[in-house]
Amino acid sequence: MRVAVTGSTGFIGRALLKGLLDAGHEPVPVVRSAPADSIEAVTWNPEEGRLDPGDLAGLDAVVHLAGESIGRRRWSEAQKRRIRDSRTNSTSLLAETMAAAEDRPGVLISASAVGYYGSRGDEVLDETSAPGDDFLASVCRDWEAAADPARAAGVRVVHPRIGVVFDSSGGALGNLLPLFRLGLGGRIGDGRQWVSWITLPDLVGALVWLLDAEVEGPANLTAPVPVTNLELTRTLGRVLRRPARLLTPKPALWARLGRELAEALLYSSTRAQPEVLKRHGFAFAHPELEAGLRAVLP
């Protein structure tokens, strides 16, 4: 399949390009300016609403990963607007352009996140669960709805609700590793908040698998065994052979990240289950945390 990928220079996007090649597909990056080398690419500008329908001709699928990083900087009102607009505007542009194209791709895998469910304590959540009522939940609802024009045009649209992605090359684990290797890691708060995680290899495998799977609508891309923050802390310390007994005080995190961002990223509790993937037979390489961490750590 010829598969266009937005967000192809990001943490997940770079891994997905390689995963598509390894699976025998032809990835086509979607970028803001034509690359200097000979790699085939589609150019677009979401802020200016620029994407030529003709550039989508001959593509079989699009994987849409682009969007402003959630944790890149403190959440001012302007930053929250950038987070929302970067997702909804780019998705609307892509979905409307696909709907208008004569030779349109048949599949749109448009990313979302488990933030859709909000912070729900110990409640077990699957793809049929109601959305939350916080900022990230509202962003995810709007983000998914922005793909409606493609859906209405007959495109199979999948919304992978992605959990916390673990890999040593970046993401949440990449940020944790320096502290834990120094023996400065530890639980956050009481450690009872649930973390819905997935290794980067399993995430890439699931995204590639969704290209052909008979799946439509939301699909949680999380490991089948979520863990609490305390379990995550203890397991990571054990894998790294470092003590992980410290407690990170809330005021320190509020000072560094801002209160709203710290609460959303570090104290939110989401216990998601990948029921759609399990029902359709996706095989996880790393269903449990310790084996997953050992697989992705150097």
Q: How far apart are CA 120 and CA 131, in angstroms?
A: 10
For residue 235, CA distances in Å to 58, 152, 186, 187, 290 come to 46, 45, 11, 11, 6
- In angstroms, the CA 297 to CA 236 distance is 10
pLDDT at 240: 95
Which alpha helices (DSSP H) does 161-258 contain, by range?
171-181, 200-210, 229-240, 250-257
Average pLDDT taken over every residue of the chain = 94
Q: What is the mean pLDDT of residues 96-104?
A: 95
Q: What is the mean pLDDT of residues 39-51?
A: 92
Comparing CA positions, the residue from 50, 44, 47, 153 lying closest to residue 95 is 153
Give the closest residue to 196 by CA, choosing from 138, 123, 259: 123
CA dihedral 235, 236, 239, 245 (to 10 degrees): -80
Give the integer Cα–Cα distance in Å for 278 and 289.
Answer: 17
pLDDT above 90 coverage of the chain, percent? 83
* Rounded mean pLDDT, 101-122: 97
Residues 6+ apart with CB under 8 A from 279: none
Overall number of domains in the chain: 1
CA distance 24 to 32: 26
pLDDT computed for residue 37 by the predictor: 66
Domain range for 51: 2-296
Q: What percent of the chain has pLDDT over 70?
A: 99
| Torsion angles phi and psi, residue 246, rounded to 5 | -75, 160
Inter-residue contact 272 to 140 (CB < 8 Å): no
CATH of the domain at 97: 3.40.50.720
260-263 CB contacts, 8 Å cutoff, 24+ apart: 260/75, 260/135, 261/70, 261/71, 261/74, 261/75
Strand partners, 109: 63, 158
Asked if residues 127 and 276 have their Cβ atoms less than 8 Å apart, the reply is yes
CB 123 within 8 A of CB 74: no
pTM: 0.95
Cβ pair 236, 184 in contact under 8 A: no
4 burial level (CB within 10 Å; 0-12, 13-18, 19+):
buried
pLDDT at 251 (0 to 100): 80
> What pLDDT shows up at residue 255?
81
Task: Please determine, for residue 38, whether its predicted confidence score (pLDDT) is greater than 70.
Answer: no
- For residue 257, the model assigns a pLDDT of 84
**Spatial distance between the Cα atoms of 50 and 90, rounded to a whole number of angstroms:** 10
pLDDT tens sequence across 218-256: 999 999 999 999 999 999 999 999 998 888 777 877 887
CA–CA separation, 141 vs 23, rounded Å? 31
